[in-house]
Each structure stands twice: as C-alpha cells, then as structure tokens.
C-alpha cells in the first residue's frame, strides 16, 4: 500500500569529548580483551554544559535546516530519552520553544528505553499520514549512564538524532512500511530512585535484542513482500559493535550493507541516538532509489522495523547542515578523571 509520509529533514549531534576504551579498562583493571570483544574503540561524552535536551536541540536544529520548513508549521514534537534532565518537566516543550515551534503544537516526552526516539518517529509518521498535520518532529537523545566499573561503561555514550517528518512529496526518504514487535522481556531496567541501570547480561542478547529485531524485520519483509537483498542499507540498534553484524548475518544481510550506518565503534552506544544516528549517517551518503532498513530496539522489550526509499531530494539538502562524520571527526580526548568529573561520577561532598 503506498504511503504518504517520510523524512523531510534529518540531523544529528555528537559531543566533542571522547574517552578511549583502554583508559576505562586501565582504571578498573579490566583485561584489554573485554572492550575489544565489544567492538568499540572509544565513546562520545557529553560535556559539563550538555545534556540530552541540549543535544536534542542541536540535532533538531540541523534537521529543520535540512527540511527548510518554517518551525511554526511543525505541529508535534516528540522527545525520546532515558536520561531526561528533569524527572517531572517535559524536554519537548523546552525544545519546541527554543526552536520557535510553540505554542500551537503537541509536545510529549516518550519512554521505551532505547526505542523511545523510534516510538516518536513512528507516531510522527502516523500523524502526518493521517492528515492531522503537515510536519512533525521526532528526536532521540541520551547522555547514557552506566555504573562505574560495570561492563556497560565501556559502551554507554552520548548523542542525538532528529527527523522532520512530512508529506511523501517533500521527503528525502519515503516511508514504505513499518512493523513493530514487542513483548515484556526484563533484559535491562532502572528503578525509580536508582542512579544507574541494571541489565541481565547475556539475557540482553537472547531473548531480547535478537528475538525482537528479527521478529520486527521478518514481519516487515513479509508485509511488503521484500527480501534481504532488496535493501541497500541496514541499520540496527547498536548496543556494541558486534550485535548489529550478528543480527544482520542471521537475517541474511551482509556486513557491507550494515557498516555505513554502524557508528557505535567510534562514538559508543548513544541509546536513543544509536540506530537513529546510524540512519542519519546513511542519509548523508545514500543515493536516490536506494532502500534503507532501520530497526531500532528498546529494552523491555520491542523493536520497530522501517523501510524507507530515498528520493532525489536527498542530494539538494545534504549540505545544509553538518553531517554525522563531521561530528565524529571533531573530537578531543579526555582521561578518566575528567570524564568522571564531567559526567557527575565524582560528587563533591560539602561539610
């Protein structure tokens, strides 16, 4: 069935600061083989004046620049994150105000672990397709946290991606179909008053990550009558550098189609930015007529699988904002002490 919505503009943001995996391993006494086994070399760290809200704003600003639309025409803002700066106060309203979108707009913060940004993207596409509005904005952003010394600290990183959704006739990538697969799988969680999340270690792979992404992608392909070879690119959720390649192999998708959107090895797992930054990176290079598979995942657990077809409009909008690789290549390394200070791992005790 023809779809009437798609991505009109895209944008991303990755902080400048980086820490190498070998530095984290040195501080906590991990063997070098541990981070190497995760397929991650270094990760991006939000600076002391950055949080998920400010990063989401930057990514959204880039997306609006590429879309070339009047912000006041955007009638919905969805902000997906599991590291909001406020427990009770929406980030979506702050971003909408800062971008000149409010006051005549929907604004909602969404939660579904790393899938919240994708949840916003799916809602935005549905609202546009249903004719409720011409443009909507979906953002996925996180300053991902991890318990110091835990294996999760090697990958938990910071970054954001955003997409202006609009009519298919104006889109750089038209939605061809979407399929969602969710179950109650307790693979990763954080209590209401816990500072850091807990995870089920090996349980986070099977039956969480692999089962849900495979279920979503197979459902999508069956609904659309597509095969793995019909896709030119495949972007999966990236908790590390190995899982996306493994799930691709199980789906019959070669690594050559996965590597262009695989950003975790050089910036870490940006949680809600993970697959979405990968999607932005692919749009930075995709050609008209190519088909893109995007399959984010969120613990809890669920996955969305999208099929987008690139249009010729992508080439005229590509250079209107910084590309993902511009942010990847703009970096400054810090040691563990400065990293701990910036991320609030070291807390000052006042007597």
- pLDDT at 351 exceeding the cut of 60: no
Smallest CA-to-CA distance from 322 within 160, 146, 81, 125 is with 160
Q: pLDDT tens, 291-325?
A: 999 999 999 899 999 999 999 999 999 999 999 99
Backbone angles phi, psi at 76, to 5 degrees: -155, 140
Q: pLDDT higher for 200 or 208?
A: 208
| Two tokens, residue 45 | 């760290």
Name the average pLDDT for the chain: 94
Which CA distances in Å does 174 have to 166, 169, 236, 242, 303?
9, 8, 19, 29, 20
- pLDDT at 350 exceeding the cut of 60: no
Question: pTM of whole model > 0.75?
Answer: yes
Q: Which domains does the chain show, CATH number per domain? A: 5-172+325-342 (3.40.47.10), 173-313 (3.40.47.10)
Which CA distances in Å does 160 have to 12, 266, 273?
6, 15, 5
| Two tokens, residue 202 | 């090996």
DSSP-derived secondary structure for 297-323? EETEEEEEEEEEEE-THHHHHGGGS--
Q: pLDDT tens, 21-60?
A: 999 999 999 998 988 999 999 999 999 999 999 999 999 9
Model confidence at 203, pLDDT cuts 50, 70, 90, reads: low
Q: What is the pLDDT of residue 202?
A: 66
- pLDDT at 346 exceeding the cut of 80: no
- pLDDT at 192 exceeding the cut of 90: no
Looking at residue 114, what DSSP letter applies?
Answer: B
Contact of 239 with 216, CB cutoff 8 Å: no
Helix (H, G, I), strand (E, B) or coil at 64: helix
- Whole-angstrom Cα distance, residue 75 to residue 299? 29
User: Minimum mean pLDDT among 93-102, 144-153, 277-286: which range?
Assistant: 144-153
Catalytic residues: 82, 114, 237
Smallest CA-to-CA distance from 273 within 91, 82, 24, 122 is with 82
What mean pLDDT is predicted for residues 182-201?
Answer: 81
Helix (H, G, I), strand (E, B) or coil at 288: coil
């Amino acid at each position: 069935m023809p779809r009437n919505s798609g991505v009109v503009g895209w944008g991303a943001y990755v902080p400048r600061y980086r820490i190498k995996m070998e530095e984290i391993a040195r501080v906590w006494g991990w063997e070098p083989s541990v981070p190497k086994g995760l397929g991650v070399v270094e990760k991006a760290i939000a600076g002391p004046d950055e949080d998920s809200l400010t990063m989401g704003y930057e990514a959204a600003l880039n997306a609006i620049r590429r879309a070339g639309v009047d912000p006041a025409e955007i009638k919905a803002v969805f902000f997906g994150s599991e590291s909001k700066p406020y427990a009770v106060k929406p980030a979506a309203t702050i971003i909408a105000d800062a971008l000149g979108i409010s006051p005549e707009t929907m604004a909602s913060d969404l939660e579904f672990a790393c899938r919240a940004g994708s949840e916003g993207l799916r809602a935005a596409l549905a609202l546009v397709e249903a004719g409720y509005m011409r443009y909507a904005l979906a953002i996925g952003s996180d300053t991902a946290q991890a318990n110091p010394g835990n294996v999760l600290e090697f990958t938990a990183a910071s970054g954001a991606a955003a997409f202006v959704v609009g009519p298919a006739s104006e889109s750089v990538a038209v939605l061809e179909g979407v399929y969602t697969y969710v179950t109650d799988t307790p693979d990763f969680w954080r209590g209401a008053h816990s500072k850091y999340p807990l995870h089920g270690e090996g349980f986070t792979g099977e039956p969480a990550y692999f089962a849900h992404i495979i279920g979503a992608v197979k459902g999508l392909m069956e609904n659309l009558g597509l095969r793995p070879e019909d896709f030119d690119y495949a972007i999966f959720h990236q908790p590390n550098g190995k899982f996306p390649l493994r799930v691709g192999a199980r789906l019959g998708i070669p690594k050559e189609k996965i590597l262009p959107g695989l950003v975790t090895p050089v910036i870490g797992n940006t949680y809600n930015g993970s697959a979405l930054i990968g999607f932005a990176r692919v749009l930075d290079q995709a050609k008209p007529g190519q088909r893109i598979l995007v399959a984010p995942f969120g613990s809890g657990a669920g996955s969305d699988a999208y099929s987008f077809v690139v249009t010729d409009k992508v080439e005229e909008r590509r250079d209107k904002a910084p590309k993902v690789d511009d942010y990847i290549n703009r970096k400054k390394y810090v040691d563990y002490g400065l990293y701990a200070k910036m991320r609030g791992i070291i807390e000052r005790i006042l007597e």
